[in-house]
Chains A and B, each alone.
Chain A
Amino acid sequence: MALIDRIVSKALNKTVSPGDIVIVDIDAVYAQDGTAPLVIDAVEKELELKRKVAVERAFFFIDHSAPAPHVAAATVHKEMRRFAKEYGVRLFDVGYGISHQVVVEEGLVRPGMIVVGADSHTPTIGAIGVYATGVGSTDAAIAMMFGKLWLRVPETVKVMLCGSLARGVMSKDIALFILGEVKSDGMLGKAVEFRGEALKKLSIDSRMTLTNMCTEMSAESAIIPVDEVTRKWLTERGYNVFRDVEWDKEEGYVDELPVEVSKLEPLVAAPPDVDNVKSVNEVSSIEVDQVFIGSCTNGRLEDIEVAARILHNRRVKEGVRCIVAPASRKVYREALKRGYIDTLVEAGCVIAPPTCGPCVGAHMGLLASGEVAVATTNRNFPGRMGHRESKVYLASPAVAAASAIEGRIADPRKYLS
């Protein structure tokens, strides 16, 4: 049995197989300011319920347009605060950070849990062994109010990561490489389970980038088993494993994809699609107007650290905006303590509050017609970060920082000796 099958089997206390439709208790459920309005409508106007939520771990995040860039967002936020109070949903207000980052770092989700989020990148949290999937607002409303949902147990593809990453190559490059191979619908109807020796050297931060990008392959879920790295991370924070399954067995996959990570070089996904993957040197002549380092894909401490290392004693090129948005308040504070923020500000970066902001073209750095951005985010389709005629190249924070220095898409390896 693949890991997700085992988590579901353990939760139900009976053996399940891929394709089975099951009804499970939802251990945690959340929505954000883009999807919460419909959750609220579903509960109040459609279900017409007026009682506390059934799930203890029910969360709202104000992260997409935070702080509110216009009155419409402010009104949504106000409604979320009211609903949260009345229904007993725990609210993470402006400034806390991006949902997927906060639930992991605050220990709100734990290995072995079954979690749904009204946000397509919910599989990100599978990096710590959670079975997580994205749902619509009606699902989120039902999960919150009744504590249960139906799920179809997905087939799992094992992605075997062999070798170890070279200097200047990050887990984002692994994800982009796989996307280039399997394409944007390569994992449709499936879950991805990462395995292999390369994981030993990948931190939780790096792993979350991997699971995050599986959404772009159309995967329903992504998961990384609890191993020594996870256990150490959990212990340091006083967190436990919620549902113990056999994390070590490798069996029950519909397919297997081996990836030799040692051979990878820095990559980018060129517009207009996430799977239009090229090596950084193939596109190094492309000039950039804006660099964005942040999002639930790459706004973590490790990402800010590598950007600070590259930009240390260097300058963002005249005419380029380099925006850095830590994924959460925790990440922000730690980056401040370690001096990364100071280094970045000195280099000419603009620091944004923890927010999705530019990733989804909501606020804080939209692109004008014809402008080009390098972003550490996960989507690059036309108009994602602003005008339909703007272009977004997806890359690792190392590539993003190097590009900020040169004003064109740049190989970070020369800055990391």
Chain B
Amino acid sequence: MIVRGKCWKLGDNISTDHIISGKYKFEAIDNLNKMAVHVLEDVIPNFYKLVSKGDVIVAGKNFGKGSSREQAPRLLKLVGVGAIVAKSFAHIFYRNAINIGLPVVIAKVIPDVSETGDVIEVDVINGIVKNVTKGVEEKVAPYPKEILEILVSGGAIEYIKRWGGLLWSRSTE
């Protein structure tokens, strides 16, 4: 599973409120398309139009901090974001992203060397992040197999629907 796309460079502390403002949260979850035009609007105006499928957000520390609203990772995925590379993630955002099948990768070097527009390649299975433009490669901790299976299935819900249960319930039943 390799994600390759353009880099969107963001700073530290991008909150779920930056990703989708709380004022839109009363839209129903099956109305995500309506909300999508607002994704990251105060950080990158028109992001939903500018982003291409497979693009990679590269950010600093504490990405996804703040409220636990699950619309945040869902919307990023919906508009085409293929992976997020950051120095650190807020815990609930990290979980939510994996559960919806959006690879989130913790990296030390790539966030420092990358600029918007660079080509970024994320090898999710082997734990390698490359800034192709800058010629920098970083090895990151690979996912345990349980998490990988969720990611390659497209998320926990997809996984459960395909296999009729969770990986762990399959292996123990």
Contacts and interface: CB of A to CB of B under 8 A. Distances in A.
A37 B26 CA distance: 10
Nearest to B145: A21
B116 interface: no
A21 B144 contact: yes
Given A41-B30, A133-B91, A146-B166, A47 B67 contact: no
A142 interface: yes
B13 interface: yes
B42 to A, nearest CB: 13
B67 A148 contact: no
A135 interface: yes
B30 A35 contact: no
B96 A136 contact: yes
A416 interface: no
B100 interface: yes
B65 A218 contact: yes
A185 B65 CA distance: 9
A220 B157 contact: no
A119 B28 CA distance: 18
A136 B95 contact: yes
A46 B99 CA distance: 13
B68 A134 contact: yes
A138 interface: yes
A218 B169 contact: no
A271 to B, nearest CB: 16
A71 interface: no
B100 to A, nearest CB: 7
Given A47-B157, A142-B156, A188 B96 contact: no
A220 B99 contact: no
Interface in A121-147: 133-139, 142, 146
A137 B169 contact: no
A327 to B, nearest CB: 21
B132 interface: no
Interface string B71-92: 0000000000000000010111
A95 interface: no
Interface residues of A, number: 31
A274 to B, nearest CB: 12
B96 A47 contact: no
Contacts of A38: 29, 70
Contacts of A137: 70
Contacts of B168: 23, 148, 150
A279 interface: no
A135 B95 contact: yes
A163 interface: no
B51 interface: no
Nearest to B160: A47
A118 interface: yes
Nearest to B158: A46
Contact of B92 (A46, A135, A142): A135
Contacts of B99: 136, 138-139, 142
A90 to B, nearest CB: 22
Given A45-B30, A185-B65, A134 B70 contact: no
Give the top 5 A-B pairs by smallest Cβ distance, nearest first: A136-B96, A23-B168, A21-B144, A136-B70, A220-B91
Given A21-B144, A38-B70, A133-B91, 16 more contacts: A23-B167, A37-B28, A37-B29, A41-B29, A47-B157, A47-B160, A119-B68, A120-B68, A134-B68, A135-B95, A139-B96, A142-B156, A142-B166, A148-B169, A150-B150, A218-B91
